Amino acid sequence: MKQEALISIQIMGQVYEVPENLTVMKAVEYAGYQYVRGCGCRGGICGACGTFYRMPGDYQLLSGLACQTVIQAGMMIMQLPYVPVNRQVYDLDALNGNGAPVSSSTLHESVRSLFPEIFKCVGCATCTRTCPMGIDVMDYVALIGRGELEKAAETSFSCVMCGLCAIRCPAQISQHTAAMYVRRLSGRFLIPRSAHLRHRVEEIRSGKYDDSLARLKGMGKEEATRLYAAREREPDLAEPGEWKPK
Ligand code: FES
């Protein structure tokens, strides 16, 4: 088996020799650390693994997801176990307690009262440059500010809630949690309800799948593995002409 060349990196101030081509997450583990926090899906989805690093001779503080960022020789890495954020508590039902439609100005006002810091954006675009998902964070902050909530929800849709934007924001904005609130508003009050989803929820509530679920729960590992391998799959999104992730 081919032996990978070793490169030198720093993890929280300590120098380690690790095989090249590893992700930051794997390099940290290779160096002997065990993730207790700051690691989840390992696939760029959960946003738990925010990491900061600097390259020798470069003044910039760079960031990324540890499970997606490949190490480079000389990298100085600082792993984040946790990101403290402005996590507001809210009740969407309270916005239309009597079931009446909610006006866009009411929705906008609710964002303003929960996340007033959004309106202090200084337009520096640090958030956009920091986002590991390539989202134009500053743009959706501006959309929220203007009350274009549905568009802001769409623009922020692939956010994985890593919080790196909020950590670096000089205006102390918690962009990702504000955007999560806006996506919830959009799903609840702005975009059309999905008829398919409503139908499926009704089916589940009526007990249509109770027997299948009971059978799955009582299944042995082998049978469950066979069933999983033979499952119906989503079409390959990478087919020509199909939608591809950015
Ligand atoms: S561990 Fe989930 S995004 Fe990296």
Query: Which tens digits make up the pLDDT trace of 117-135?
Result: 999 999 999 999 999 999 9
**Locate tokens 């690790």: which residue?**
18
CATH number at residue 179: 1.10.1060
pLDDT of res. 59:
94
Residues ≥6 apart with Cβ < 8 Å to 246: 134, 158
* Helices (runs of H) and strands (runs of E) counted in the chain: 10, 5
| Percentage of residues of the chain with pLDDT beyond 70 | 94
Residue 170 belongs to a domain? yes
**Same structural domain, 42 and 117:** no
**Same structural domain, 114 and 180:** yes
Encoding tokens for residue 76? 């100085």
Give yes or no for residue 20 having a pLDDT over 80.
Answer: yes
Query: Which tens digits make up the pLDDT trace of 53-99?
Result: 999 999 999 999 999 999 999 999 999 988 888 889 999 988 987 77
Burial label for 18, CB within 10 Å (0-12, 13-18, 19+), is buried
**Same structural domain, 186 and 97:** yes
Number of domains composing the chain: 2
**Residue 219 Cβ contacting ligand 1 at under 6 Å:** no
**Same structural domain, 41 and 123:** no
User: Considering 190, 208, 226, which residue would you say is the last residue of a domain?
Assistant: 190
CA dihedral 42→46→48→53, nearest 10 degrees, is: 70
**Residue 45 Cβ contacting ligand 1 at under 6 Å:** yes
**Same structural domain, 113 and 49:** no
Residue 121 belongs to a domain? yes
Name the residue range of residue 125's domain: 92-190
Residue 56 belongs to a domain? yes
pLDDT of res. 1:
60
Calculate how far, in angstroms, residue 166's C-alpha sits from the geometric centre of ligand 1.
17
Calculate how far, in angstroms, residue 37's C-alpha sits from the geometric centre of ligand 1.
11
**Residue 37 Cβ contacting ligand 1 at under 6 Å:** no
**Locate tokens 């989202």: which residue?**
135
For the segment 172-183, the average pLDDT, to the nearest whole number, is 96
Q: With CA atoms as reference, report the closest residue to 5 among 89, 73, 94.
A: 73
Instruction: Determine if the pTM surpasses 0.85.
Output: no
| Percentage of residues of the chain with pLDDT beyond 90 | 83
User: When comparing pLDDT for 128 and 102, which is higher?
Assistant: 128
Query: Which tens digits make up the pLDDT trace of 184-204?
Result: 999 999 999 889 999 999 999
Average pLDDT value over all residues in the chain: 92
